[in-house]
Structure 1
Amino acid sequence: MVRKSSRAAGSGGQPSSRSRTTTLVALLSCGALALSACGGSSPTPSSSAGPDARGGTPQAGGTLTVALSSIPPVIDPYATTLQANWQTARSVCEPLFDISTRYEVKPVLVDSYQYDQKLTYVMKLRSGVKFHDGKDLTAADAVASIQRFLLTPGNGAVLGTNLESVKETGDLELTLTLKQPSAIVPTLLTTAYIMPASVQQDRPITEPANDLICTGPYKLASYQADREIQLVRYDEYAALDEPGDGATGKKVAYADKIVLTPMPETSAQVQALQTGSIDMTSALPLDTYQTLASSSTAEPVLLSALSGSTVVFNKAKGAMSNVKLRQAFLAALDQTQIMGAGFGNADFYDLDGSIIPKVNATFYTTAGAEAYNKPDTAKVAQLIKEAGYDGKPIVWMTTKADPTWYGPVEPAVQLLKTAGLNIDLQVMDQASLIQRRTDPSQFDLFSSGIPTYADPLLLPYLQDGFPGAWTNPEKNSLLSSLATEPDNAKRVQLWGQLQALIYTDVPFLKFGTTRPLLAVSPRTHFDNADALMYGYYNVWLQDS
């Protein structure tokens, strides 16, 4: 089976042993956890045509100035687990595969690859690709980068557990041999940014490569931790011919220079945008939308719904270890009311029962979601009675640090109390919540959030060891099949079965999916707002 660079990446083969597959599945979820953290006028979502000022004919030139909440102390993506620190790497570096705005995994530095649906991937690199130091990309560079990638947490650790060897089998060819079949090797490699072997070879993870010699459309001009980063166009960049989409396809460095400047306060970012000091903000609270919409010098940009607001139940002990009581929670919640009260304007969120949001066209499914947003007072009363609930306080840990976590909490608590459930809401800082959720004696449920993943195997909630302890044998069997099934259509069906199980066993529940908010100056233009999450290429400046 040969995969060309214009097609989405595929999946794995058949399991060699149940025990090793179960271990791999647990690590997959662990990897995802490490990467993810461990009224007014109506906005226009990016899925519809935005204001004309953002379109037009692309043109080169100018300096694009972007405000970040902070300039990270480390910009080497191998030396940090925080994706927020990868802003520079996304525009400067490229992996073998990357992700489109529809969460399709596609080749980037790979020209084509073969997978025998068992244990072997053979990948051929694109010819004519040059690093920022002028040297040609070779298989030796890819092998050295992957070997260092294996030392990282998250996707690197997952791949390392299942990788028997990675070898250079030609100037532009590398071969990966697995210990057991895997459906998502290309997906795991989307965070393995390729650098020269001279940079990556034998470099400890504790020794960051902050010069970032890569293959991307921009190259690093200067980096001052906590102060500023400057990028300049790389004129020798080898772009793909396919239309640009997220981090895939053609990437064009329209701006001569990109300046990333630290601005931790939201109000400072908004003011700087209004005064013309910057051209783009980082993610902003949704409650700043109206201020931006009423300004003549700033334009709000709502992206597709990406972040699922959730709550996770303690299945190991306490009241919520009873599945009947978890089902009662689900039946008590009017998500239309909850999301409306929590986030205001209905264009800020989607009422969407799919665990994987609509933006991921491959794995979006309504399987089991007929139970979503179906409040039923009589059903709640019956389930509470069957659970034998005695009215003891049910401890819900939450935090105001993340609006997507806290937004649904207060309206949901009111509905649950009306239904007869005695909720003890405990609000704390995010670090305390993350620490306390590891102790089952400390809580009955806790607030959380699900970012959008390219593959459901990366969802941390699905692992046995994630706080809340969902140890369901049927779940683990479906995960094992999902991890090793080579046919993508069958994998989609398996995920549908697993989502249906989630709605039956209710290990966690989703309130809805919110839209990230950015803001840009009137002179900042782009074809696809969702692509702004992937890098600063394909963005141009046009003064009126």
Structure 2
Amino acid sequence: MKMKAYSLLLLLFIVTIGLIGCSNDSDSENGNEKQDDGSTGEETEAETSGGTLNLSIGQQPNTIDPLVTTATATAYAAKPIFETLVTVNENYEVVPMLAESFEESEDGKSIIFKLRKGVKFHNGNEMTADDVLASMNRWLEMSQQASASIPGAKWEKIDEETVELQLEKPSSIALYTVAEQNQVAAIMPKEIAESATEAGAEEYIGTGPFEFVEWKTDQYIHYKKFDDYQSRTEPASGLAGEKKALVDEIYWNFVPDESTRISGLISGEYDISIGVAHDNVKQIEENEGIQPEIWTYGKELLIFNKQQGVFADKNMRQAVNAALDFEGVLRASFGDEQFYELEHGLFTPEIVNWYSDAGKEMYNQQDPELTQSLLEEAGYDGEEIVILTSREYPHYYNAAVAVQQQLEKVGVNAKLDVFDWATLLDRRSDPELWDIFFTGWDTQVIPHGYNFLDSKAEYPGWTNSPELDQYLEDISNATSQEEATAIAEQLQEEFWDYLPLIILGLFKNTDGYSEKVQGFQNFIGPVLWNVSVEE
């Protein structure tokens, strides 16, 4: 059977990253200085600094087993411990991690993963194909994304160093699904994977650069450097490439109160604080020795109820889209422009395999004449529009207020219904109770990660588009990335026509960190390898 070898692509990737490292001095998104990966083999003083990294975060996870939940708190806490067969680089391209290489069959129904030799678990045992098989079979059972994207898939052991993913039909998104960072396909010892229950694994043992030590409820998770960690040698990129445990220990402290996290950052008790309100960034900037890390989290979305009410009519949805000043809404939501960005795409430009300009002409139109024409076509006669919102998330609430005011200016009768967030989540499941609500969506690596596109997902708003469903299926069945990318462009064009929701733009989260910390960055959450702390 003819195979498409990955080795050449891997070589090209390494060369490309090297060239980028030579031609760029800084990270274009986060403004972090790139670390010199070096080719001399000599470690800098910072790289051998050791010591302890103290991090504070507001949310405590229910588990550190990433297969049990889609919660961000678990995904973040699991990242230093667990690794996957493949992962994504800074361009969100799939590259090997625990796999040495992978090959796809010509018919697209098989992917063979050659495993790296000498990789050890934190218990000292070497990773084998049996461990991988047990872990991946558990992932198939537990992962929502796996069941939706590659139904009927099977894993088989070829030999002690090789496993195979068998697909019922060709899938351009199978590798992305294995690399997914939501319910991540963590590789753990066979006995732990097979004994795990629905509540999770009994032990947290992976192959990552840090190993789990203890979890003191409501206090901290303690990690330590894994001395036998076997790193890849390619330059670090996104979640891929070289990983170095440059500190001896990490304390992942649970600090629900933000002011306490900031005070601890200022005093030096914490080296990094995850989750800083935009209003408090100036406080960090004004304190010597600490600085903010502002990074793109995802999209600010206006969701339409398409099941019933005025927005069941596409013309009415398009009328709202034509009326709004998106930058005005984002400014009201986030204040300073450093915390938001105008962007029409389902994906950002960094996600090179999926980004498209399709539909850009429909974005941020601010066209009063078109608005009135569409309102007339929809037969709008002053019906009340209910905007569901909550003050618990100020940027959603501020967006709701701004949209209400802008709609009233074009003659749309809009009313705010304000509830606590838990009540909002309950009410949005009833199509009789609302017409618009606001939410955010974090970075996805494939179109299928956006549930609001899929009629079968029944996400609140209730998309019902045979065209979007067909494009999603066609992307899955594509036999090459080039074909899948072209179909994704058509999908995005259809998205802006059908308009299940409005992408208002990108919004950014903020963390704070000490200037003693070197190499810290966010990529789908905090990355703590290749990070050192000066004494």
What is the DSSP-based 3-state SS (H/G/I as helix, E as strand, rest coil) of the residue aligned with 1:291?
helix
Matched ranges for 1:11-410 at <5 A: 47=29, 49-50=31-32, 58-60=46-48, 61-116=50-105, 117-158=107-148, 161-163=151-153, 165-190=154-179, 191-206=184-199, 208-303=200-295, 305-410=296-401
Instruction: Measure, in 1, the Cα distance between the counterparts of 2:514 and 2:302.
Output: 36
Which one-letter code corresponds to 1:326 in the other structure?
R
Displacement after TM superposition at 1:268 (Å)? 0.6
Displacement after TM superposition at 1:416 (Å)? 0.8
Matched ranges for 1:362-511 at <5 A: 362-464=353-455, 465-511=458-504
Displacement after TM superposition at 1:53 (Å)? 12
Which one-letter code corresponds to 1:539 in the other structure?
V
Displacement after TM superposition at 1:282 (Å)? 1.1
Displacement after TM superposition at 1:534 (Å)? 4.5
Displacement after TM superposition at 1:358 (Å)? 2.8
> Deviation above 6 Å: which 4+ runs of structure 1?
51-57
Q: How far does the alpha carbon of each residue in 1:7-40 deviate from its partner, in whole angstroms, 9 at most, with x for none?
A: 49xxxxxxxxxxxxxxxxxxxxxxxxxxxxxxxx
Instruction: Measure, in 2, the Cα distance between the counterparts of 1:495 and 1:532.
Output: 22
Which one-letter code corresponds to 1:424 in the other structure?
K
Distance 1:359 1:85, change over 3 A: same
Instruction: Measure, in 1, the Cα distance between the counterparts of 2:9 and 2:246.
Output: 23
Distance 1:50 1:404, change over 3 A: same
Displacement after TM superposition at 1:401 (Å)? 2.9
Single out whichever of 530-539 and 292-301 deviates more from structure 2.
530-539
Displacement after TM superposition at 1:45 (Å)? 8.5
Instruction: Measure, in 2, the Cα distance between the counterparts of 1:281 and 1:4.
Output: 40
Distance 1:360 1:422, change over 3 A: same
Q: How far does the alpha carbon of each residue in 1:102-149 deviate from its partner, in whole angstroms, 9 at most, with x for none?
A: 322221111111222432221111111111111111111011001111
Instruction: Measure, in 2, the Cα distance between the counterparts of 1:327 and 1:87.
Output: 38
Displacement after TM superposition at 1:458 (Å)? 1.3
Displacement after TM superposition at 1:267 (Å)? 0.6
Displacement after TM superposition at 1:156 (Å)? 4.0
Distance 1:403 1:253, change over 3 A: farther
What is the DSSP-based 3-state SS (H/G/I as helix, E as strand, rest coil) of the residue aligned with 1:308?
strand
Instruction: Measure, in 1, the Cα distance between the counterparts of 2:173 and 2:512.
Output: 34
Distance 1:73 1:336, change over 3 A: closer
Percent sequence identity is: 27
Displacement after TM superposition at 1:312 (Å)? 1.2
What is the DSSP-based 3-state SS (H/G/I as helix, E as strand, rest coil) of the residue aligned with 2:47?
coil
Q: Is the 8 A contact 2:27 2:33 kept in 1?
A: no
Instruction: Measure, in 2, the Cα distance between the counterparts of 1:436 and 1:521.
Output: 42
Q: Is the 8 A contact 1:398 1:426 kept in 2?
A: yes
Residue equivalent to 1:2:
5
Q: Is the 8 A contact 2:150 2:171 kept in 1?
A: no
Q: Is the 8 A contact 1:316 1:468 kept in 2?
A: yes
What is the DSSP-based 3-state SS (H/G/I as helix, E as strand, rest coil) of the residue aligned with 1:121?
strand
What is the DSSP-based 3-state SS (H/G/I as helix, E as strand, rest coil) of the residue aligned with 1:151?
helix
Distance 1:403 1:143, change over 3 A: farther
Instruction: Measure, in 2, the Cα distance between the counterparts of 1:301 and 1:280.
Output: 10
Displacement after TM superposition at 1:6 (Å)? 6.3
Which one-letter code corresponds to 1:118 in the other structure?
G
What is the DSSP-based 3-state SS (H/G/I as helix, E as strand, rest coil) of the residue aligned with 2:274?
coil
Distance 1:519 1:215, change over 3 A: same
Instruction: Measure, in 2, the Cα distance between the counterparts of 1:178 and 1:426.
Output: 47
Which one-letter code corresponds to 2:177 in the other structure?
L
Instruction: Measure, in 1, the Cα distance between the counterparts of 2:133 and 2:284.
Output: 46
Q: Is the 8 A contact 2:271 2:514 kept in 1?
A: yes
Distance 1:189 1:340, change over 3 A: same
Which one-letter code corresponds to 2:115 in the other structure?
L
Instruction: Measure, in 2, the Cα distance between the counterparts of 1:403 and 1:151.
Output: 38
Q: How far does the alpha carbon of each residue in 1:358-411 deviate from its partner, in whole angstroms, 9 at most, with x for none?
A: 332322221111111110111111111111101010111122333453342211
Paired residue total? 505
Q: Is the 8 A contact 1:101 1:530 kept in 2?
A: no
Displacement after TM superposition at 1:48 (Å)? 6.2
TM-score after normalising by structure 1: 0.88
Displacement after TM superposition at 1:448 (Å)? 1.6
Q: Is the 8 A contact 2:220 2:252 kept in 1?
A: yes
Residue equivalent to 2:14:
none
Q: Is the 8 A contact 2:52 2:247 kept in 1?
A: yes
Distance 1:521 1:87, change over 3 A: same
Q: How far does the alpha carbon of each residue in 1:64-122 deviate from its partner, in whole angstroms, 9 at most, with x for none?
A: 00001133231111223312112231001101112223322221111111222432221
Q: Is the 8 A contact 2:306 2:461 kept in 1?
A: yes
Distance 1:53 1:483, change over 3 A: closer
Displacement after TM superposition at 1:415 (Å)? 0.8
Q: How far does the alpha carbon of each residue in 1:445-470 deviate from its partner, in whole angstroms, 9 at most, with x for none?
A: 22121211011121111111222222
Distance 1:210 1:277, change over 3 A: farther
Q: Is the 8 A contact 1:72 1:226 kept in 2?
A: no
Which one-letter code corresponds to 1:384 in the other structure?
L
Instruction: Measure, in 2, the Cα distance between the counterparts of 1:51 and 1:196.
Output: 37
Q: Is the 8 A contact 2:54 2:250 kept in 1?
A: yes
Displacement after TM superposition at 1:50 (Å)? 4.3
Aligned alpha-carbon RMSD (Å): 2.4
Is 1:542–2:534 an aligned residue pair?
yes
Single out whichever of 151-160 and 501-510 deviates more from structure 2.
151-160
List runs of 5+ in structure 1 lacking aligned partners.
9-43
Which one-letter code corresponds to 1:306 in the other structure?
Y
Q: Is the 8 A contact 1:46 1:530 kept in 2?
A: no
Q: How far does the alpha carbon of each residue in 1:197-227 deviate from its partner, in whole angstroms, 9 at most, with x for none?
A: 0111142222x32531111111112222322
Q: Is the 8 A contact 1:243 1:249 kept in 2?
A: yes
